């Protein structure tokens, strides 16, 4: 109720007393609710602490919710890839200069590479999926990201600026990204970008397995499987967006 009331306020926000009246509670109760929402970033105050308004974390949640359809659309592809390869398949999305693992499907091979859990994040470029999200961006954006993530990549010794730039060049030349045991020495991974009709990278698919299972010629076979699914996903995402846009137009007309 508090968030709904604040969402209807003007850009300056609302005073505590106005929030309390709008939600039908006392000022002390309203204050406790607002403080709890401030702690999680859903509400913020002005410099004097007199006016309350929605926080930026809430807008980030909204952005994530709008991208949830990608997870749902990708789920059958992850299942097919896990079935075809018997290995672990990951779906990653970009959030700022981070790559987030948003879904994972485990294959039947007895030695499993669960190096990423759903919800984990890494700097763009660190890992096969994260490298696929980075490498196929415009060159100017790649340079900016490499510079901005330097400190975040410090715990990953193999991903210094020069090494990462070389990985990007190799990924662009091959059409897929490879993590050759640079995070966990016995485990390798392959990642490919999912590109929409506007040429933008919207997600990454990757497969991870023990080193022996990601060696030529299987390396190229895995990349081909990932590319085929990614090529289908791009247009599927475009169609979903177009459908959403038409639905919004109809609702606006109503």
Asked whether residue 108 is domain-assigned, the answer is yes
- The pair of structure tokens assigned to 107 is 């294959």
Last residue of a domain, one of 61, 84, 99: 61
Co-location of 131 and 206 in the same domain? yes
Q: Could you say which of 18, 39, 61 is where a domain stops? A: 61
For residues 12 and 97, membership in a common domain is answered with: no
Q: Collect all residues with Cβ–Cβ distance below 8 Å to 177 and sequence separation of at least 6.
A: 128, 129, 131, 132, 135, 167, 171, 190, 191, 192, 206
- Structurally, how many domains does the chain consist of? 2
Record the tokens describing residue 5, joined without a space: 């009331």
- Residue 143's pLDDT is what? 97
What is residue 187's predicted lDDT score, i.e. its pLDDT?
95
Domain of 55 in residue numbering reads as: 2-61
Give the phi and the psi of residue 100 in degrees, each rounded to 5.
Answer: -110, 130
Domain identity same for 10 and 127: no
How many C-beta atoms surround the C-beta of residue 140 within 10 A?
A: 8
| DSSP E strand stretches across 106-251 | 121-123, 177-180, 187-195, 201-210
CATH number for position 76: 3.30.450.40
> Is pTM, for the whole model, over 0.85?
no
Residue 57: what pLDDT? 65
User: Mean pLDDT in each 10-residue stretch from start to end of the chain (254 residues)?
Assistant: 78 85 90 87 81 71 60 93 97 92 92 84 97 97 96 96 98 97 94 95 96 96 98 92 71 52
Q: How many CB atoms lie within 10 A of CB 97?
A: 18
Residues 89 and 22 in one domain: no
Q: Are residues 163 and 236 in the same domain?
A: yes
Cα Rg of the chain, angstroms: 22
Q: Rounded to an integer, what distance in angstroms lies between the CA atom of residue 84 and that of residue 214? A: 14
Contacts of 57 (CB under 8 A, 6+ apart): 40, 41, 42
């Amino acid at each position: 109720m508090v968030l709904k009331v604040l969402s209807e306020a003007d850009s300056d926000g609302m005073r505590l007393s106005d929030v309390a009246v709008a939600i039908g509670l006392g000022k002390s109760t309203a204050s406790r609710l607002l403080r709890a929402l401030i702690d999680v970033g859903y509400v913020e105050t002005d410099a004097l602490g007199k006016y309350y308004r929605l926080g930026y974390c809430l807008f980030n949640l909204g952005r994530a919710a709008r991208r949830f359809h990608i997870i749902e659309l990708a789920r059958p592809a992850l299942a097919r890839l896990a079935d075809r390869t018997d290995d672990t398949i990951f779906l990653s999305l970009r959030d700022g200069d981070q790559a987030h693992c948003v879904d994972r499907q485990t294959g039947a091979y007895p030695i499993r590479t669960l190096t990423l859990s759903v919800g984990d994040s890494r700097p763009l470029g660190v890992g096969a999926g994260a490298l696929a999200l980075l490498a196929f961006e415009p060159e100017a954006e790649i340079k900016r990201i490499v510079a901005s993530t330097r400190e975040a990549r410090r715990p990953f010794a193999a991903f210094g600026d020069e090494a990462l730039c070389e990985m990007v060049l190799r990924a662009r030349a091959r059409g897929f990204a490879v993590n050759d045991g640079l995070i966990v020495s016995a485990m390798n991974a392959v990642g490919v970008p999912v590109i929409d009709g506007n040429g933008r990278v919207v997600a990454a698919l990757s497969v991870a397995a023990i080193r022996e299972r990601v060696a030529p010629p299987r390396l190229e076979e895995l990349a081909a499987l990932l590319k085929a699914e990614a090529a289908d996903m791009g247009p599927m995402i475009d169609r979903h967006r177009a459908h959403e846009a038409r639905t919004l137009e109809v609702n606006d007309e109503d």
